[in-house]
Amino acid sequence: QDRAELERICDALQLAAGANHRLCLLVESQVSGQETKLWRLGWQQPVLAYEICPAVSFGMVLRNHTAPALSDRRRLALTFARSLLQLYESPWLSERWDKESLQFFFQTSGDVDMRRPYISTSFDNFPIGSEPPDLNLLHRSRGILQLGLLLIETHTWKPIENFYTEGERTASQPTSNTDLQAAWRVHSSMRDCFGTYLSAISACLSVSWVAVGMRVSLEDAETRSGLYHGVVKPLEMEVSLAD
Cβ-contact 153, 201 below 8 angstroms: no
Sign of CA dihedral 189, 225, 88, 241: negative
* Higher pLDDT, residue 216 or 135: 216
List, for residues 32-73, the tens digit of each pLDDT value.
Answer: 556 778 888 877 776 665 656 778 999 999 999 999 999 999
89, 199, 209, 217 alpha-carbon torsion, rounded to 10°: 10
Distance CA 112, CA 205 (A): 29
Domain boundaries, the chain: 3-41, 70-93+131-242
3 state SS of 25 = strand
% residues pLDDT > 90 (the chain): 42
pLDDT above 90: residue 228? yes
Q: How many residues would you count in the chain?
A: 243
pLDDT above 70: residue 168? yes
Lowest average pLDDT, out of 32-46, 156-170, 221-235, goes to 32-46
* Overall average pLDDT of the 142-158 stretch: 95
Element (H, E) at 103: strand 102-104
User: Counting Cβ atoms within 10 Å, is residue 152 exposed (0-12), middle (13-18) or buried (19+)?
Assistant: buried
Cβ-contact 37, 28 below 8 angstroms: yes
Say what the pTM is: 0.79
Element (H, E) at 118: strand 118-119
Strand pairing partners for 27? 38
pLDDT confidence tier of residue 161, bands split at 50, 70 and 90? very high
List, for residues 122-137, the tens digit of each pLDDT value.
Answer: 655 555 655 667 778 8
